[in-house]
Chain A
Amino acid sequence: MSLVSEGADFRGPLTASGFAEPSLATVGDYIALMKPRVMSLVVFTALVGLAVAPGSLHPLTAFTALLCIAVGAGAAGALNMWYDADIDAVMARTSRRPVPMGRVRSGEALAFGLTLAGFAIVTLGLLVNWLAAALLAFTIFFYVVIYTIWLKRSTPQNIVIGGAAGAFPPMIGWAAVTGSLSFEPILLFLIIFFWTPPHFWALALYRADDYARAGVPMLPVVSGDATTRRQILFYTIVLVPLGVAPWMLGYTGALYGATAVATGIIMLGLGWQVLRERRPAERASRNLFAFSILYLFLLFAVLLVERGWGGLIVRLAT
């Protein structure tokens, strides 16, 4: 559905004789391909999954698991930039990425992503366990093939379904420790899954023109402003009880419960403000986008402190 993909060529410049011009890509360009900011969020949520899981893991094995998850996330980011170079080039937020800027060729980004993915999955399987490796492989597949290649350009539900890819890391962390899955990591998955639509649609509300220019069918572009605002509030109403659920089910203590309730009320308030706001005003959307990051960070940070921090310290000491 992209309006700009045809004819876009990111294979890089050629010399007069038809050979590929030698690359000027630096190590920094390849690090940028790995989307380090996204990677840091993935590592953080995976760390929480790893820390709250029952059982013990040698600190070096835990480090290896997190390293493989980080590299796997970087691989997914590089493969996303390989495929999306055409739409990245026309969006203000992404136009300075290495492939649209011509610093890294499309084929180089593809090879880099596939190599990293292979190493991350095999290393996680060999050194930690194969369930965690299989989940990492599925996450990369889901993000690149299901989200980037299929859904992103074809449906306004792209980030709803595609959000699953960002929700898997706590499950991978949990699986790295236990070699199995249970309801608790699935609950963490659900929190991130239902957090994704309000977070990205709040951004899409004030970046709608950018997405429209790139031909990406984000909800505000396809269904309009009012529908998007209703959907944001709907997903926030589903999200907040899910955020409180770990406390209600007895997995966490009062600190987590108080944090989840207080930040949940703020999320609902911001969601309500977004519903009442109308373009060109975008203050409420920006506020919700910014606070949603803090909301998820606080929930997982308190979970880490309450459930995992002690466990990690004990594990390091033994």
Chain B
Amino acid sequence: MGRADSPFGNVNIGAAMNDQSDDDGIVLTEAQKRARRSRSLAIAFALAALVILFYVMTLVKGPGVLIRPI
């Protein structure tokens, strides 16, 4: 498929993407990396706690865990 047949007209998509990643890519500072790591750990901890909570509550309530009064 020639460039004229491209749905994006004369734009070279591959080159444009490479330019973007080369010129505009975001490099995290150390502070940003630390903040991201602490947020990721907190999300992991919260999800693990949720899994444990559902597991233990299922043991507590037995087979009727999903039978809830409305």
Smallest beta-carbon distance A57→chain B, Å: 11
Please tell me the size bucket of the interface on A: 20 to 34
Q: How far is the CA of A17 from the CA of B38 in the complex (A)?
A: 27
Please tell me if the beta carbons of B54 and A27 are within 8 angstroms of each other in the complex: no
Please tell me if the beta carbons of B69 and A24 are within 8 angstroms of each other in the complex: no
Interface status of A138 (Cβ within 8 A of chain B): no
Given known A-B contacts A17-B24, A60-B56, A26 and B38 have beta carbons under 8 A apart: yes
Please tell me if the beta carbons of B69 and A131 are within 8 angstroms of each other in the complex: yes
Interface status of B11 (Cβ within 8 A of chain A): no
Interface status of A253 (Cβ within 8 A of chain B): no
Please tell me if the beta carbons of B53 and A123 are within 8 angstroms of each other in the complex: yes
Contacts of B65 in A (CB 8 A): 126-127
Contacts of A15 in B (CB 8 A): 24, 26
Q: How far is the CA of A37 from the CA of B41 in the complex (A)?
A: 24
Contacts of A67 in B (CB 8 A): 53
Q: How far is the CA of A60 from the CA of B60 in the complex (A)?
A: 8
Given known A-B contacts A26-B38, A30-B42, A127 and B57 have beta carbons under 8 A apart: yes
Interface status of B3 (Cβ within 8 A of chain A): no
Partner of B32, one of A23, A125, A130: A23
Interface status of A155 (Cβ within 8 A of chain B): no
Please tell me if the beta carbons of B39 and A179 are within 8 angstroms of each other in the complex: no
Contacts of A127 in B (CB 8 A): 53-54, 57, 61, 65
Beyond known contacts A23-B32, A61-B57: 14 more, CB 8 A cutoff: A15-B26, A19-B26, A24-B35, A25-B35, A26-B35, A58-B60, A60-B60, A125-B68, A127-B57, A127-B65, A129-B69, A129-B70, A130-B69, A131-B69
Q: List 8 A-B contacts (CB under 8 A).
A: A15-B24, A24-B31, A25-B39, A126-B54, A126-B66, A127-B57, A128-B68, A130-B68
Q: How far is the CA of A64 from the CA of B28 in the complex (A)?
A: 38
